[in-house]
Structure 1
């Protein structure tokens, strides 16, 4: 089996894992730490760029960041919070599931197409940067929404 197939299978499992975690998270109150920590934990993946095979050209960096930020808009639009009792919860959104599955399918298609022209190491670096560029703006927007509701909730009490 080649690397593209193996990494694509891994991406599918990760996509289902994210769906599962998101569904489970909507059942419990959220807090700032749950919003902020995932991008921080994910940032350790940037150590891949120490290895020359994963390094990107300035053009590849720009493309990955722009596409990631554009995709983040979909996630931002489908991530809303609500106050229930004295806690803040992430609202469930059916659109989020479809968007996440759609992004996963798009990722697999792009990987299949681009793997014939871009080295697998660079492609991995691009997809990591794309994902990180998607998650950071999404989490920043989530944090801002959370803080707004948090202030509202604590000003009422």
Structure 2
């Protein structure tokens, strides 16, 4: 079986990531029209966790401390723009996410940072390894953001006059 040129693979993943970012923006816009539930908060990181199966493939593996550093960067740095722009409000007895005008710019900015970091990291690790590292970074970011959302949602439910959980 032939091998794939790394630059083609890199551009393919960048275009794929851009497409996924645009899909996330569209999904978030539509999601703000529907009430938030615990299920809607928790399912994305649970679904994303299935991506850890990529580490079954030996070419994707790297030292544990790299994984911890990537997760910490996602949790401690990259989650904060999403946390800062995530707000909830009550309407008709239900809880909704408030649309943020800056969400799309933040997501595209994170994509730009990822692409720039990718160029640097590719000098030191293989394409499959960098994919694994960025997956762990993204997982740390999403997990922290969704954990914040869950805590905030629970706090709003605890307020007087809040709806019962769905």
Q: TM-score under structure 2 normalisation? A: 0.89
Question: Retained in 2: the 8 A contact 1:4–1:112?
Answer: no
Q: Which residue of 1 aligns with 2:114?
A: 107
Q: Which residue of 2 aligns with 1:76?
A: 83
Matches within 5 A, 1:1-150: 2-69=8-75, 70-150=77-157
Q: Which residue of 1 aligns with 2:3?
A: none
For these two proteins, the number of residue pairs brought into alignment is 155
Deviation by residue 1:50-103 (Cα, 9 ceiling, x = unmatched): 111111213311221121011111111111100011110000111222111100
Counterpart Cα distance in 2 of 1:106 and 1:154 = 39
How far is 1:108 from its partner? 1.2
Unaligned stretches of 5+ residues in structure 1 = none
Helix, strand or coil: the match of 1:2? helix
Counterpart Cα distance in 2 of 1:56 and 1:79 = 33
Q: TM-score under structure 1 normalisation? A: 0.93
More helix by share: 1
Of the structure 1 ranges 146-155 and 11-20, higher mean CA displacement relative to structure 2 is found in 146-155
Helix, strand or coil: the match of 1:116? coil
